A and B are shown apart, each in its own frame.
Chain A
């Protein structure tokens, strides 16, 4: 398995940022400091004036894993608030022993349940933090104790979701567009409102579909399971629905760029990939990334089936994509990964090594394929 994986890797596209190289981080640090540092001067990051005492709500599962590394490298003091169910740190594929030792020795843990609002308030008040990155908040009520505990908070950086946008025939979604107060992400909207009403210096990031190594949402993994099994890929409707994937490392870089950035004050930014992709196109891109032959795509009408509680396809059956132009023009951020490069990075560092979060389940696939056979 490992031999096959490494052979495939050598045939695949190179992963531009498969490690946490200092180069990528110094570029973003230069961009952020460029307004008061002469260009070309190597920015010395030290635990001095620029260093912040940062609390990350979450941080041990996906986005925060990459973000916390960037923050520690930037010289900040980083504490992860989690229940401790997942290991506080884990060595990432592609991360050297030395880098991992450096990171894990510096990052701190505050163990607790964020649903225990009294504990949140008292423990945060006792410690004091300059900045909060709220990566796993869902409801406004979870955020109140944090704001109450930290009256001198410099910035609240919130991981929201492009899922708040009202469905539209006019696209892409932009930050100024109407939001849907009934969406299942309405807790994110209420949080954004609460932050505004409390006069907190907040920044809200709205990702679309996030992908990359360690993804616990079966986005690329769903395709990789089928490709590996040599199965056809069942796609609802015509397969021309357009979606958008954003690499987790690009997202982590964006989160870092808003830190202490006056352009980010009280602002919302969509963060995702530079281009969008059709459902059919995504299946084919995953095949390219994993070095698989191009798959057979089977289209079906979801209304012809009752899948019960199972999800037959990992994406909303509609167009869903957002413009990232605001972040690019105002933060100096650019998404580094194009789709096939990013999927290749994910494949090389995760699925291609034999790791995945959810075991393959082809129940709904078989329902669809059986029906197709029956109608032939």
Chain B
């Protein structure tokens, strides 16, 4: 099981290097999809049940859909993938930097791979993180209301930003 965590952490690093090196947004969104899928797996390996599902749902189903159709606004005829020379140089620089940082900072560390996996050893329905989110609805009711009001405000902000015709953030287009 700790090898699975190793593989997933490696997948996280590969995905985030793929986003951070400067490909075209089509491919950077693919890297972010990989990071969110693998991050969901990492959270599951550490005992979560509700939070990884929320993570997967919101990042893949919410944000990546938005970024995918906004990528049509940044269309170009020859998008830079990871085979392009300048992108490969960024990838090499980031991999080198991450490798040096890992060597320096993890060099003194020895032991197992930080594996809190499961304390009880049996299948549970109500896990800890689900109880934490339930606490947000129970004693944290006001922050939930404030968060909802903030999201509603963001909706109106966004609508006003793209209104156009000399009202809002655009010129008369």
Are A and B associated in one complex? no
What is the interface of chain A, defined by CB distance below 8 A to chain B? none
What is the interface of chain B, defined by CB distance below 8 A to chain A? none
